[in-house]
A and B are shown apart, each in its own frame.
Chain A
Amino acid sequence: MNSIFVYCEIEEGQIAEVSQELMTKGRSLATELGCNLEALAIGHGLEGIEKQIFPYGVDVLYVADDKRLYPYTTLPHTAVIIKLFQEQKPQIALMGASSVGRDLGPRVSSALHSGLTADCTSLVIGSHEDKKAGKVYDNLLYQIRPAFGGNIIATIINPDCRPQMATVREGVMKKEIFDPKYKGKLVKLDVSKYVSDTDFVVEIIERHMEKRKVNMTAAPIIVSGGYGVGSKENFRLLYELAEVLGGEVGASRAAVDAGYAGHERQIGQTGVTVRPKLYIACGISGQIQHRAGMDQSAQIIAINTDPEAPINAIADYVITGDVSEVIPKMIKYYKKNTK
């Protein structure tokens, strides 16, 4: 049976979190389907990279190592993927819904005429009956994602075209080592057979990558604000509460769009996915896209002036009131009871 491929993003010799999460998901899908999990690492100076990859249960790792392949540029990376996919014909291909994955994924899908679903929140194997054509498809990849402003959840399938391609945001899938001693097969690609000189027309003149300043996926407590917080000034209250409780500040897309918080703090389908011990949603109405990024939190407190806000339905505590009134009281009684 054809394999599952994961494209590994590599920055400074490190496999990206999202790629590790996708290999974890890929391993469980491959086991369910009874096929190989394969991975692809493209870059430069990749000796030993397999040590970071095989423990996720990768059966075959293809490495394309060439000075010109790092840092990432679109055309050479897509050229390698397209040719390799034509040779290996994977049934499923997964990539991160990152700056890189969302740049190359559509290009690969266009070249191979295969379907690509962006920002999936869940991937499941299932069957499909096309009643009109009288055909039954087994073992399809259900690519599940919110759509249309989050009012609906769509299950997308690619019945006929291969590979079935999906991108997934960092933090959506869990990362787990499959077997630290897992031994896969290493295949080094002859890069000159995969790329041509014309693939290098885009040149990187300058590049500044920042270490991530905000690490919300690791925070045990997240105080998150929505459009209902009302202003950047009011957002300061959230920082105060987060500091007192030892947590991080998150934001909904609406709050980010309104300029209350930076993009790096956005939680939801198009931001990061978090699973903290406690999630305090301040002035967040709770569209599905936001909930997709936080509904696995162990405890949820919703603070909202609207008693009908959708967020309340998944909350453990519902406080109907104004953020600027509630947060100072929370700080006050936290301090009083921890002294």
Chain B
Amino acid sequence: MKVYKMIVLAKQVPDTRNVGKDAMKADGTVNRAALAAIFNPEDLNALEQALRIKDLFPGSTVTILTMGPGRAAEIIREGMFRGADDGILLTDRAFAGSDTLATSYALSRVLMKVKDFDLIIAGRQAIDGDTAQVGPQVAEKLGLPQVTYVEEVQKLDHNKIYLKRRLQNGVEVVSCPLPMLMTVNGSAPACRARNAKLLMKYKHAKTVTELQNSNEDYLHLYNDRPYLNIAEWTVNDIEADQQELGLTGSPTKVKTIENVVLQAKEAKVLSTSEADMEDLMKELLASHTIG
């Protein structure tokens, strides 16, 4: 039976959905420490699609590729607990300040080096930027066809995949030859939970840097069990043009950032009393706002 080599593009993101009152510092900058770092939600939908293909075609492999700071290795482990085989953490100061184009360039360099893959599966967009750009940009850099907003893999036979897409005002079923890149919509099935056996197996999986920083008593384990080593790549591993990376490689620049300060309007404050409610409706009717 045909096996497929899949790469899931994932991002660790601040949980912007649960922004508390302490999310902003007094000086108007973002207080990253107050926000939990999570596996980007739609990247989990993407992972689930990859794992389903792996279920259908035993022997297929799923690799998580993420770019970020050292702690982003957490999401590679999280992916392995759910069924991914391994991961690559792309981490380097040279990538700091990358916009979507510089990010997609760096990721595409990794993929060019990995070379041997059938499917690249990414979440539609990340919740910290909501741009939905990195997937299509990576596809363009690799010269691959793309299918966005995927909700379901309907069929996969040899070198062709049939995908259902969720659009703003409808649905589409398309076929696409492999290799290809798809981005998965949040309306696709949620990712399966962690598997207890896999959790035990990969609990101690670490990147080289994590290993160096830990007081691991069982270093020999990492030689005996190669699957515990999470690949960590830097700029030197991807033969990249330095001009295309980080801030320099980013055509978009942030000119200004303003903290959102609300200019309070003069609002009428009402209670829920019968009298207040009746006055409100009378006033709205009188001004022809309603009625």
**A: which residues have CB within 8 A of B?**
71, 73-75, 78, 98-99, 102-107, 109-111, 113-119, 128, 142-143, 146-161, 201-212, 221, 245, 254, 257, 263, 269-270, 277-278, 287-288, 298-299, 301-302, 310, 312-322, 325-326, 329-330, 332-334, 336-338
Q: Are B130 and A313 in contact (CB under 8 A)?
A: no
- 20 sampled A-B residue pairs with Cβ under 8 A: A74-B146, A106-B134, A106-B136, A109-B251, A113-B251, A118-B133, A148-B14, A149-B23, A151-B19, A151-B260, A154-B258, A157-B253, A202-B174, A288-B260, A298-B289, A313-B262, A313-B264, A333-B274, A333-B280, A338-B285
Instruction: Give a binary string over B70-86; 1 marks a CB under 8 Å from any A CB, 0 the rest.
Output: 00000000000000000
Identify which of A115, A257, A329 contacts B274 (C-beta below 8 A): A329
Q: Are A151 and B259 in contact (CB under 8 A)?
A: yes
- What 9 pairs across the A-B complex have the smallest Cβ distances? A149-B16, A115-B251, A313-B262, A115-B252, A321-B272, A161-B251, A209-B170, A106-B133, A110-B140
A313 to B263 alpha-carbon distance, docked (Å): 7
* Residue of A whose beta carbon sits closest to that of B131: A118
Q: Are A210 and B128 in contact (CB under 8 A)?
A: no
A314 to B277 alpha-carbon distance, docked (Å): 20
A162 to B79 alpha-carbon distance, docked (Å): 38
Q: Are B173 and A204 in contact (CB under 8 A)?
A: yes
Q: Are A116 and B271 in contact (CB under 8 A)?
A: no
Q: Are B258 and A153 in contact (CB under 8 A)?
A: yes
A75 to B101 alpha-carbon distance, docked (Å): 19
Q: Are B252 and A110 in contact (CB under 8 A)?
A: no
**B200 at the A/B interface (Cβ < 8 Å)?**
no
* Residue of A whose beta carbon sits closest to that of B99: A115
Q: Are B170 and A155 in contact (CB under 8 A)?
A: no
**B167 at the A/B interface (Cβ < 8 Å)?**
yes
**B268 at the A/B interface (Cβ < 8 Å)?**
yes
Q: Within the complex, what minimum Cβ distance (angstroms) separates A251 from chain B? A: 15
A107 to B143 alpha-carbon distance, docked (Å): 10
Residues of A within 8 A of B146 (CB): 74, 103, 107
* Residue of B whose beta carbon sits closest to that of A108: B140
Residues of A within 8 A of B253 (CB): 156-159
Q: Are B255 and A128 in contact (CB under 8 A)?
A: yes
Residues of B within 8 A of A212 (CB): 169
- Identify which of residues 7-32 in chain B touch chain A, using a CB-to-CB cut-off of 8 Å: 14, 16-17, 19, 23-24, 28, 30
Residues of A within 8 A of B251 (CB): 109, 113-115, 158, 160-161
Q: Within the complex, what minimum Cβ distance (angstroms) separates A236 from chain B? A: 19
Q: Are A152 and B259 in contact (CB under 8 A)?
A: yes
Given A160-B251, A202-B176, A208-B171: A316 in contact with B267 (beta carbons within 8 A): yes
Residues of B within 8 A of A116 (CB): 100-101, 131, 133, 252
Q: Are A158 and B252 in contact (CB under 8 A)?
A: yes
A193 to B51 alpha-carbon distance, docked (Å): 41
Residues of A within 8 A of B133 (CB): 102, 105-106, 109, 116, 118
A154 to B29 alpha-carbon distance, docked (Å): 12
A312 to B263 alpha-carbon distance, docked (Å): 10
* Residue of A whose beta carbon sits closest to that of B284: A278
Q: Within the complex, what minimum Cβ distance (angstroms) separates B250 from chain A? A: 7
Q: What's the A-B contact tally at a CB cutoff of 8 Å?
A: 245
* Residue of B whose beta carbon sits closest to that of A212: B169
**B59 at the A/B interface (Cβ < 8 Å)?**
no
Q: Are B145 and A201 in contact (CB under 8 A)?
A: yes
A161 to B174 alpha-carbon distance, docked (Å): 34
**B207 at the A/B interface (Cβ < 8 Å)?**
no
Q: Are A149 and B170 in contact (CB under 8 A)?
A: no
Residues of B within 8 A of A270 (CB): 130
Q: Are A320 and B269 in contact (CB under 8 A)?
A: yes
Q: Are A318 and B172 in contact (CB under 8 A)?
A: no
Q: Are B289 and A277 in contact (CB under 8 A)?
A: yes
Q: Are B256 and A207 in contact (CB under 8 A)?
A: no
Q: Within the complex, what minimum Cβ distance (angstroms) separates B48 from chain A? A: 17
* Residue of B whose beta carbon sits closest to that of A221: B290
A302 to B276 alpha-carbon distance, docked (Å): 14
Residues of A within 8 A of B281 (CB): 330, 333-334, 336-337
Q: Within the complex, what minimum Cβ distance (angstroms) separates B242 from chain A? A: 15
Residues of B within 8 A of A208 (CB): 170-172
A42 to B136 alpha-carbon distance, docked (Å): 20
Q: Are B272 and A103 in contact (CB under 8 A)?
A: no
Q: Within the complex, what minimum Cβ distance (angstroms) separates A164 from chain B? A: 9
Given A153-B260, A334-B281: A320 in contact with B271 (beta carbons within 8 A): yes
Q: Are B19 and A319 in contact (CB under 8 A)?
A: no
Given A103-B136, A118-B130, A334-B281: A205 in contact with B175 (beta carbons within 8 A): yes
Known: A153-B260, A154-B257, A206-B172. 11 other contacts (CB 8 A): A106-B134, A110-B136, A118-B130, A149-B19, A152-B260, A153-B258, A203-B174, A208-B170, A209-B169, A316-B265, A321-B272
* Residue of B whose beta carbon sits closest to that of A74: B146
Q: Are B129 and A147 in contact (CB under 8 A)?
A: yes
A270 to B30 alpha-carbon distance, docked (Å): 21
Q: Within the complex, what minimum Cβ distance (angstroms) separates B227 from chain A? A: 34
Q: Are B17 and A329 in contact (CB under 8 A)?
A: no
A312 to B282 alpha-carbon distance, docked (Å): 21
Instruction: Give a binary string over B164-196; 1 marks a CB under 8 Å from any A CB, 0 the rest.
Output: 000111111111110000000001000000000
A109 to B104 alpha-carbon distance, docked (Å): 11
A116 to B276 alpha-carbon distance, docked (Å): 49
